[in-house]
Structure 1
Amino acid sequence: MANPADSATNSSGGTPPSDHSPGARASVALAPGRGAEITLPPLQGAALAIGSVAVSLATFMNVLDASIANVAIPTIAGDLGVSPTQGTWVITSFAVSNAISIPLTGWLSQRFGQVRLFLASTLLFVLASFLCGMAQSIEMLIAFRVLQGAVAGPMIPMSQSLLLASFPKAKAGTAMAVWGVTTLVAPVAGPILGGWISDNYSWPWIFYINVPLGLLAAYATWNIYGQRETATQKLPVDTVGLSLLVLWIAALQLMLDKGRELDWFHSGQIITLAAVAVIGFVGFLIWELNEKHPIVDLTLFRNRNFLGGVTALSLGYGAFFGNVVVLPLWLQTQIGYTATVAGLAMAPVGVFAIVLSPVIGRNLHRVDARLLATAGFLMFAVVLYMRSLFNAGVDLSTVMLPAYLQGIAMALFFTPLSMLMLSGLKPEQIPAASGLSNFVRVLFGGFGSSIATTAWDNRSAMHHSHLMEQANAYNPTFTDGLDNMQQLGLSNEQAHAVFERALSVQASTLGVNDIFLFSSLMFLVLVLAIWWTRPVHGKHAHVDGGGGH
């Protein structure tokens, strides 16, 4: 994506800012230009603190909304008079429109300016959230969720750009640590808030809470960044590339979200979506690699550090997000936790993540980023292995212990990998890399969620079948158990129903154990992708992301 400051003048005819300003970072790759530049200094003192909080708050609100509705779907579906299956479109509609809108960010930021784009996205997100809460039918809610996902697209890439521009170059690690905390903690906080609101209030409040948060973030952002607007310019829009992008992302996201419901490739609809996604993706690759002004600069993947960093980050985030979805589902549907308690079981994740991330960010330039990222992946492997040992009688303290350790892993996860990706690039490539890596990360988050839930269903069914093989008249444990329940006053049918419930819980627990164990092994293997990159430490750990020295 082009540097919006390049080859351009701002709306008042002034000189464009340099890539030390917020204007130097867009989010989607276009051909870089040339031009005279000036340098805006980094923020300092209270302005830096307020600006960082404001931008992070908007990011947190955005990422939170991608997961907060998950635990409230049964409540929403019941209130609006539809099935839970139809209710899942509340999640699908947001995911599809959000994934499509992210690649438009670069063109929009060049046309309107990064600060104006971020503010407009935030305010429109507030409006869409309010409309979601006011929806009186499932059709209205889905339409407003489409709007919400679409306007949310530019918020995350622009927040990263504004944060990088706020800090001195030598403290780019701190900027990304602040940004990383909001991106990783929000998916965990979403089910917590969603469960608590669903249990104690009405479901519209999962959307209404965005209104004061978004207005506060927009007001603070305008006050801090209003005088740091970026240059604008008009470049040709890659309409063919954009159309192909919309086509294959929409088909792929719909396939992932509806595959479980429609039994995957046993459904003609899923096969059609898969074919459209593959054909659209191949056409997109061919077109973008030969287009003069591509909507996405795929040549970034020729850089070794970017390719290795994106691979580790995206696959790691997919595994992380898949487990974030599966764990609370298992706790609620099989172990009997309420939505609130299931959310609280995950709450400790944020403790160490919030405390340690800024510390790691401030000291990242002193250590090889590969060592820190490796430590994070090894910690994730340990956490997931601990969860693979859970049984149907697990208590709350046992569930919470890995969550504390996961906070440490999260603090070591995002910032070092971001440094690995960006440090190997030229300054004018940073905007493209930021947008492209976010785009891929969002896609793999969707992959992780769909694959984890589908694999859980399949593994649970397999374990259920194996356990049922032991439930026969020749197994004394089974027959004695039924006799004992009947002696307690249960009928034969009631005894079999109790047994079936216990067997289903055990099968689901073994299934989720398999998911945790596979994810643990996956993090171990991904360490290879980290060490395929070149060393990043000392002066090489700086990202030319903003401000000055």
Structure 2
Amino acid sequence: MSTFTPFGDLTGRKLLLATLVLALANFMVVVDTTIANVAVAHITGSLAVSTTQGTWIITSYAVAEAICVPLTGWLAGRFGAVRVFASCLMGFTAFSILCGFSHTLEMLVFCRIGQGLFGGPLMPLSQALLMRIHPPEKHAQAMGLWAMTTVVGPIVGPIMGGWICDNLSWHWIFFINLPIGIVCIFAVLHLLKPAETQIAAVKVDAIGLSLLVIAVGALQLMLDLGHDHDWFSSQLIQALSITSFMAFVIFIIWEMTEKNPIVNISIFRHKGFSIAVLTLGCGFGAFFGSIVLIPQWLQTNMGYTATWAGYLTATMGIGSMTMSPIVAKLSTKMDQRILASFGLVILAGVTFMRAFWNNEADFMALAWPQILQGFGIPFFFIPLTNLALGSVLPSEVASAAGLMSFVRTMGGAIGASLAVTIWDDHASISRSEMVSRLHPETTVDMLVSQGYSHQAALATISNLVNQQALTQSANHVFLVFSTIFILGALVIWLCPKPKKVAAGPTH
């Protein structure tokens, strides 16, 4: 086997260090997608904002990241992959520090947007640079390490975030990026310079990018502000919805006629790609909405600390790490529609199990759906990714992977917003229904006879009603998400039978 590398002395120990640095940078960005999930309750309490507003901390990062992913190829071609990677690391680290120093929701959301904008290109660039610095015979091992950091990151994030919030302060979930960022920046500048890519004055589709930012930004603002402004009875929400719809329509028309589009819309002509990506986006929205909602419900209703909410959330990692290599192997031998449908049915089943949770459930009753979900996740992600990339032309794989990443990330952001909004709205309905059936005088008299004051008795009843309303509402959200997974399991059979397995990027 050849061990030739075109990058001078980037061999042996230096190559190993460069590989570890790229994997570590990817790990840092992936952890930041989930580390804030268990911290939302702490942050909202500290900043005195509602749970719905607290979700902006998660969705602002996801939306900014989604907008920046399609720009990665242009940035690397215009300025060089290593320069862009180092610059993005600097920006991500700087905005992480600013997030930690934030003392208002507005400042924190602004800094999370900055994190997302600089963090978006880091995942695909870390993957591309790993492929670039290793000879072809080592690509599989390099991608194995990259995939491991991508799988382990969402497991470590909730545990780390919970422990930091309980033992230090939520500000430190952002400050911990500082030492990692500095090490990665220093190492990239000193190790990866020989692997810099060629640059060219590539024209950027500025109009397409502007339309994309307006469309996505208006849509996310509508979802995040809708609850507080009573949805479409508000002129602001009406204006945002019209703006988003019109910008999306114009964006699609523009991209279909542009010579160098920011997003290659024409890839959607492949039926298999369109159905697989639509299923992936909707399924990931339901999945991500659940993992955002569960830690908040655990801390609000069940009295869990952020640490224990992180432990519970992370139990799904057991199955993910176990099944990923098995599913990858099965994907080369079986009809991937069967695997994807099986995975979606598992996710539907575990989400349906959650729809019967109550306030007396113990840790294991809550953990079992998480553990089983972990076994289903690889069946969901890997076959759908292969179905999508296997449906396009070889020359379109890179663009298709970027577009798939954009749809998946946007699905997650929308799913998180909808989960918390439905949870909050339906809790009010459940509360009203329960109050209408209560006979408070009898209950108050009983509590007073047990030594409660009249005010304390009323407060106790109110707290119980609120807890039950929030649990019933969470169950309602899980029922909706379970239905989405079932629909996905059926829709995926509209894909043409795959003839090949794509071996392309999965970022």
Same fold per TM (> 0.5)? yes
Asked if residue 249 in structure 1 is aligned to residue 216 in structure 2, the reply is yes
Contact 2:222 2:240 in 1 (8 A): yes
| Structure-2 change in CA distance of 1:173 and 1:450 (3 Å) | farther
Task: Tell me the CA shift for residue 333 of structure 1.
Answer: 1.0
CA distance in 2, matches of 1:262, 1:494: 33
Give yes or no for the alignment of 1:530 onto 2:492: yes
Mapping of 1:191-206 within 5 angstroms? 191-206=158-173
Cα shift at 1:376: 1.5
Structure 2 Cα separation of the partners of residues 433 and 247 of structure 1: 22
Q: Which amino acid aligns with 2:457?
A: A
Name the CA distance, whole Å, in 1 between partners of 2:420 and 2:497: 36
Q: How many residues align?
A: 499
Distance 1:143 1:325, change over 3 A: closer
Counterpart selection for 1:543 from 494, 503, 506: 503
Aligned counterpart, 1:468: 435
**How much does 1:283 deviate?**
1.1
Which of the numbers 405, 410, 416 marks the counterpart of 1:438?
A: 405
Q: Distance in 2 between matches of 1:123 and 1:358?
A: 34
Q: TM-score, normalised by structure 1?
A: 0.81
Instruction: Give the match's secondary structure for 1:541.
Output: coil
1:271-322 CA distance string (max 9 Å, x none) = 2211211111111111111112211110001112211211111111000000
Q: Is structure 2 residue 223 aligned with structure 1 residue 263?
A: no
Contact 1:164 1:545 in 2 (8 A): no
Taking the TM superposition and a 5 Å limit, the aligned residue runs for 1:90-489 are: 90-91=57-58, 93-135=60-102, 141-162=108-129, 182-183=149-150, 186-187=153-154, 189-218=156-185, 227-472=194-439, 481-489=443-451
Distance 1:421 1:226, change over 3 A: farther
- Which of 478-487 and 389-398 deviates more? 478-487
1:376/1:411 contact within 8 Å kept: yes
Q: Quick one: distance in 2 between partners of 1:213 and 1:448?
A: 30
CA deviation profile, 1:362-411 (whole Å, cap 9, x unmatched): 45323332222222212111211211121111111111111111111122
Instruction: Tell me if structure 1 keeps the 8 A contact 2:401–2:504.
Output: no
**Whole-Å Cα distance in 2 between the matches of residues 51 and 377 of structure 1?**
37
Native 8 Å contact 2:55 2:417 kept in 1:
no
Aligned residue runs from structure 1 range 486-497, under 5 A: 486-497=448-459
Bigger Cα displacement from structure 2, 341-350 vs 525-534: 525-534
8 Å CA contact 2:227, 2:425 repeated in 1: no
Shift of 1:236: 2.2
* 1:516-543 CA-partner distances (Å, limit 9, x unpaired): 1221222121012322223347xx2142
Kindly, what percent of the aligned residue pairs are identical? 40
Structure 2's unaligned 5+ residue stretches are none
Q: Secondary structure at the match of 2:260?
A: coil
Amino acid at match of 2:71: L
Shift of 1:160: 4.3
1:494: how far off? 2.8
Equivalent-residue separation in structure 2 for 1:119 and 1:510 (angstroms): 47
1:189-224: per-residue Cα shift (whole Å, max 9, x none)? Answer: 444322221111023211121123334455666787
Q: How does 1:48-59 map to 2 (within 5 A)?
A: 54-59=21-26
Contact 1:99 1:249 in 2 (8 A): no
Which structure: greater helix fraction? 2
Please say if residues 55 and 416 of structure 2, whose CA atoms lie closer than 8 Å, have aligned partners that are also in contact: no
Corresponding residue to 1:499 among 457, 461, 465? 461
Query: Any idea what SS the aligned residue of 2:347 has?
Result: helix
Amino acid at match of 1:391: N
What is the distance in 2 between the residues matched to 1:443 and 1:526?
Answer: 17
1:142 Cα deviation from its structure 2 partner: 4.6
Deviations 1:133-154 (A, max 9, x none): 3456666545433322221121
Q: RMSD value over aligned CA atoms? A: 3.4
Give the counterpart letter for 2:490 in structure 1: L
User: Residues 13-92 of structure 1 correspond to what in structure 2 (within 5 A)?
Assistant: 54-73=21-40, 75-76=42-43, 83=49, 90-91=57-58
Change in 2 beyond 3 A, CA 1:492/1:137:
closer
Greater relative contact order, per chain length (Cα 8 Å cut-off, separation 6+) = 1
Task: Call closer, same or farther: CA 1:542–1:49 in 2, change over 3 Å.
Answer: farther
Q: Rate the CA distance shift 1:221–1:389 in 2: closer, same or farther, 3 A.
A: farther
Match of 1:516 in 2: 478
Whether the 8 Å contact between 2:40 and 2:55 is mirrored in structure 1 is yes
**Cα distance 1:401–1:177, how it changes in 2: closer, same or farther (>3 A)?**
farther
